Chain A
Amino acid sequence: MTVPAQAVPELSAAQQDRLRYRRGQARRSRLLAGVSTVAFLAVAGAVIVLSPGWSRVKEQFLDVQVARDSLPAIAEGFWLNLRILVVCAVLIVVVGLGVAALRTLRGPVFAPLRIMAAAYTDIFRGMPLIVLLYIVGFGVPGLRLSGVPNAPAVLGSVALVLTYGAYVAEVFRAGIETVHPSQRMAARSLGLTYGQTMRRVVLPQAVRRVTPPLLNDLVALQKDVGLISVLGAVDAVRAAQIEVARTYDFTPYLVAGLLFILLAVPTARLADWVNARAARRQQAGGLV
């Protein structure tokens, strides 16, 4: 089917004109796009830089010296964010999957379990996280029970897992219910038990389908982890707040924001990669 280069027929003069004209147009529009982008950036920059308050905003939001001075404290707080994020993310998946499994149990005997699972998601999805943090973080240690931890990081993590577990349980349930009933029937008719059907047939498909929303929740969690600072732990945002209060300079907030973006970007790329891989596997026969 390939055509040898020499075999390209001679183009007519009119066609050559047309092609030349189109190339010219393409070049012109590229040039125009470039010029207009540069001009836009220049004007946007000029409007900001020439605004009456620019010198003060620059001093109070973009002070390199303050950024450098505050970075160690903020990084230390960010390290706490990261540790809590990892622990919570694992626990949330466990809780979410468990609750979703309970909620999707078939059979009238399991009604109490289904009701309990539904009540859990209703309560903890509805409860504002900050309120739950106060209840768990200050209420539980107020009981002064022996053996109950009173470290803010631990209590804050409990509140995060309770709230996010409820969200993630619903995501998993949605995934489980999108698996067509014929899959279950086929599995059961092959002699698999209910548990085997869930583990080998339903969940692998369900989890793959809900990976994008799960990673979405992970990014949201990255930022909400910082809310445990209301209990006294110094996370990245709280560390920045302390620096801001000391200097009356907002640059530390920008530094903290930058760290969170740097964390979110790899998560987004991971999500893209996971999705692409899932698409490849599901369309093993090629694109239809």
Chain B
Amino acid sequence: MRHMSLSRARLVPATLLAVALLAAACAEEDDTAGTNASPSGSASETADACAKENLQTHTAGKLTITTDKPAYEPWFVDDAPENGKGYEGAVAAAVADKLGFTPEEVVWTRTKFDAAIAPGPKDWDFDINQFSITEERKQAVDFSSPYYDVTQAVITTGASNAADAKSLADLEDLKIGAQVGTTSYDAIVSVIDPSSKPAVYNTNDDAKQALENGQIDALVVDLPTAFYITAAELDDGVIIGQLPTEGGEQEQFGLVLDKGSPLTACVSAAVDSLREDGTLDQLVDEWLSQAGGAPVLQ
């Protein structure tokens, strides 16, 4: 009896160690697979690699695209990304087409922001949801080439304290809000730098409610959203103006892919060719045309 229990006591840690070593072996294997698949080479080299049958998509033969729920106008229409309407809906459809997928081969899913940037395995190929490209964020995810140059804008209602604001200085002493997780929030902090802390909401819908209630004086959103909200959603909505870009750096939206995704190079190539052949400009005209001039605040 004594002898047996002793040998079992030795056996258990030994087995666990073996399991750990096995996991380590798998880890190495996985790493090499990752490096092999990582994007490399010029456009001519990738042309063949980006043929539809060579793409390592999440589901073979399908392109799985994801966005947040609800998906807002003017980026999507009717919260139905699969209809190809709205600027991002149309860009996603155009990218899928460039990669050789028919509309029937495109699968749409919904992913919350935190899940999109988490390190775990992804059950989609790319996420299109007004993700701004920054160097810091590139350490956690892959971005495609940019598909839209965006600026931030300040909006309010005619009844608000901010209705007469004409400059950044006029905004300084007001209560300003933004949606959490947006570069709009960063713009409030870095460009306006208001005296009272910005209010931060889960969604732009909540922020709009607070604006209508007078709980905040103004709201910062991206310019196309600003045009949509002031025209279609707010009573007596007003765009005060665009915010100057911080450090003169143009903010751009990119498609988000898993870090080290084998598709990044091909998706980027597709976006690049859409820009070069004028498709992106055409889609901007079609879906974001009213998002034209608003004075840049000084």
Which one, B31, B181, B213, contacts A242 given CB within 8 A?
Answer: B181
Which chain A residues lie closer than 8 Å to B9 at the CB level? 32, 36
CB distance from B252 to the nearest CB of A (A): 16
Determine whether the beta carbon of B209 is less than 8 Å from that of A138.
yes
A263 to B197 CA separation, bound complex (whole angstroms): 25
Which one, B23, B114, B210, B212, contacts A51 given CB within 8 A?
Answer: B23
A32 to B197 CA separation, bound complex (whole angstroms): 57
A231 to B180 CA separation, bound complex (whole angstroms): 12
Main secondary structure of the interface of A (DSSP, over half): helix
Determine whether the beta carbon of B136 is less than 8 Å from that of A246.
yes
B186 within 8 A of A: yes
Which one, B134, B186, B206, contacts A138 given CB within 8 A?
Answer: B206
Smallest CB-CB separation from A32: which chain B residue?
A: B9
Which of B67-75, B117-125, B224-232, B281-289 contacts its partner?
Answer: B117-125
CB distance from B175 to the nearest CB of A (A): 9
B27 within 8 A of A: yes
Determine whether the beta carbon of A50 is less than 8 Å from that of B215.
no
B140 within 8 A of A: yes
Which one, A43, A54, A230, A241, contacts B13 given CB within 8 A?
Answer: A43
Determine whether the beta carbon of A230 is less than 8 Å from that of B201.
yes
Interface set, chain A 20-42, CB cutoff 8 A to B:
32, 35-36, 39-40
Given the known inter-chain contacts A32-B9, A43-B13, A230-B201, please indicate yes or no for A245 contacting B23, CB distance below 8 A: no
Given the known inter-chain contacts A60-B119, A248-B136, A248-B139, please indicate yes or no for A54 contacting B27, CB distance below 8 A: yes
Q: How many residues of A contact B (CB 8 A)?
A: 41
Given the known inter-chain contacts A51-B27, A248-B137, please indicate yes or no for A43 contacting B119, CB distance below 8 A: no
Main secondary structure of the interface of B (DSSP, over half): helix
Which chain A residues lie closer than 8 Å to B202 at the CB level? 230
Which of A107-115, A201-209, A232-240, A266-274 contacts its partner?
Answer: A232-240
B77 within 8 A of A: no
Which chain B residues lie closer than 8 Å to A250 at the CB level? 118
Most buried by A among B117, B119, B209: B119
Which of B14-22, B45-53, B101-109, B160-168 contacts its partner?
Answer: B14-22
Q: How many residues of B contact A (CB 8 A)?
A: 48
A147 within 8 A of B: no
Which chain B residues lie closer than 8 Å to A241 at the CB level? 180-181
A221 within 8 A of B: no
B266 within 8 A of A: no
B141 within 8 A of A: yes
Determine whether the beta carbon of A247 is less than 8 Å from that of B137.
yes
CB distance from A162 to the nearest CB of B (A): 19
Which chain A residues lie closer than 8 Å to B206 at the CB level? 138, 230, 232
A126 to B177 CA separation, bound complex (whole angstroms): 31
Which one, B20, B201, B214, B216, contacts A43 given CB within 8 A?
Answer: B20
Determine whether the beta carbon of A152 is less than 8 Å from that of B12.
no
- Report the 7 A-B pairs with minimum CB-CB distance, sorted nearest first: A232-B199, A245-B181, A248-B140, A50-B24, A52-B30, A39-B13, A46-B20
Give the B-binding residues of A (Cβ under 8 A): 32, 35-36, 39-40, 43, 46-47, 50-54, 56-57, 59-61, 138, 141-142, 144, 150-152, 229-234, 238, 241-242, 244-250
Please name 20 pairs of A and B residues whose Cβ atoms are closer than 8 Å in the assembled complex, sorted by A: A35-B13, A36-B12, A43-B17, A43-B19, A50-B23, A50-B27, A51-B27, A52-B27, A59-B139, A60-B119, A138-B209, A152-B199, A152-B215, A232-B207, A232-B216, A234-B199, A245-B185, A246-B186, A248-B137, A249-B136
